Amino acid sequence: MAENLVGSEIIKLAGEIKERIKAGQEIHNFTIGDFNPSLFPIPQGLEDEIVTAYREKQTNYPASNGMLELREEVARFIKQRQQLSYAPSDFLISGGARPLIHAAYQALVDNDDEVVFPVPSWNNNHYTHMAHGKKVMIETSPDTNFMPVIDQLKPHMETARLIALCSPLNPTGTVFSKEQLQAICDEVVEANKRRGPENPLYVLYDQIYWSLCYGETVHHDPVSLNEEMRPYTVYIDGLSKAFAATGIRVGWAFGPSHIVAKMKAILGHIGAWSPKAEQVATSKFLAKNEEVDTYLNWIKGELSERLESFYTGFNAMAQEGYPVEVIQPQGALYLTVKFSLKGKATAQVSTLDTTKDIASFLLNEAGLAVVPFYAFGASHDSDWFRLSVGTADKAQIVQVFDKLKKALTGLN
């Protein structure tokens, strides 16, 4: 397994970009799904509670499934904001969402079990590999905003063990419509009636960006749409994205108690706990409804403004005849952009034959660092890219487009 495991392509690319920046290159780095803390600091109230927790010596082992006060508070938070009723014992706290996703795969997937997931999507190919599962990748298209639809998933309902879904979706920043997700959930329920209790089909639902939806966009989730999904749905969520707290490492999963218990046992052996001080601080911060609302309104406004600025800029370029295409942002911190540059060249740049060539051209000639969709499992022929705005300085967006237009004008 380890011999054939591929490391994170996004982290590798981001590391290479950082080295170039250290060497003095001027690069607009929109690769990693993270935040510049100077532009997006964590909530002041959360920071204060973390400092207080450390001063109160909250530094020993936390409970293996998470501090009770945090599980109680997260249960209240989810009930209040999503109308999802789960007991504190149905929650599991971990050091961010990644260990929880890994634990869910390990708990649900046996050797050669089929795992169905759309591509592009984040890391499902790697988690399936580590669980020794069989990857069933559903290539999505811009026609459905890169979200999978029931006609693509239905052929696998009888044989799959797990369907891994995410909305808002990393890397596209697009969201399931109510109709799209309702159709999938209804079919999962019907499939489980046919399959019986000894052979269940589960859904892993990553909703870590759910509170970052913009405009008229509404987030939907499986159990809210179909209560009969409750025995088959494991939710992944956490503090990282909505509160710009990627380094704080507080994530939570919730779902059927017997599955959560197995995930707890797996993580107990790994020790992938969230630090106790951060857990205590998070429980106190989430209880401050007014402060939470103020921060969420602020960060949504800041991210939306950046996404719309880039969207407007790329749309204007397309109307001017540049070979770009862009999808309206709906959620998360990502913009989906297409650069149709294959076959083009300049006197200084050889013909761009592959998507990797395009990525290198954008980096070297325009100083623009973005992630190709093939890093998320999509075809290497795809010309679509993810642009992440968590590190974007609003004052520099015009400069980004000036440099990009200059670089593309030189192509023929």
Q: What is the pLDDT of residues 212-229, one digit of tens each?
A: 999 999 999 999 999 999
Does 131 fall in a domain? yes
At residue 311, the pLDDT reads 98
User: 141 and 258 in one domain?
Assistant: yes
**Same-domain pairing of 48 and 172:** yes
**What is the rounded distance in angstroms from the CA atom of residue 75 to the CA atom of residue 132?**
32
Q: Residue 113's pLDDT is what?
A: 98
Whether the model clears a pTM of 0.75, i.e. scores above it, the answer is yes
User: What is the token pair recorded at 371?
Assistant: 């992630």
Identify the domain boundary among 230, 257, 287.
287
Distance CA 164, CA 338 (A): 25
Containing 128, the helix (H) or strand (E) segment is helix 124-130
Instruction: Locate 242 and state its tokens.
Output: 């909505």
Q: pLDDT at position 13, please?
A: 81
CATH value at residue 331: 3.90.1150.10
**Total domain count, the chain:** 2
Question: Does 320 share its domain with 260?
Answer: no
Q: Do the domain assignments include residue 37?
A: no
**pLDDT attached to residue 14:** 80
**Pair 283, 298 in one domain:** no
For residues 120 and 248, membership in a common domain is answered with yes
Q: Is residue 38 part of a domain?
A: no
Are residues 244 and 264 part of one domain?
Answer: yes
- Residues lower than pLDDT 50 in the chain: none
For 145, the domain range is 44-287
Q: What pLDDT shows up at residue 8?
A: 81
Both 301 and 258 in a single domain? no
**Where does a domain end: 239, 254, 287?**
287
Judge contact between 30 and 242, C-beta under 8 A.
no
Pairing of strands 233-238, 251-254: antiparallel
Handedness of CA 211, 213, 217, 220 (dihedral sign): negative
* End residue of a domain, out of 247, 266, 287: 287
Based on the domain organization, do 307 and 250 belong to the same domain?
no
Q: 16 and 133 share a domain?
A: no
CA atoms within 13 A on the CB side of 84: 27
Same domain for 335 and 270: no
Same domain, 305 and 392: yes
Residue 188 lies in a domain: yes
- Assess if residue 49 is contained within a domain: yes
Query: What pLDDT shows up at residue 16?
Result: 83
Quick one: 297 and 281 in the same domain? no
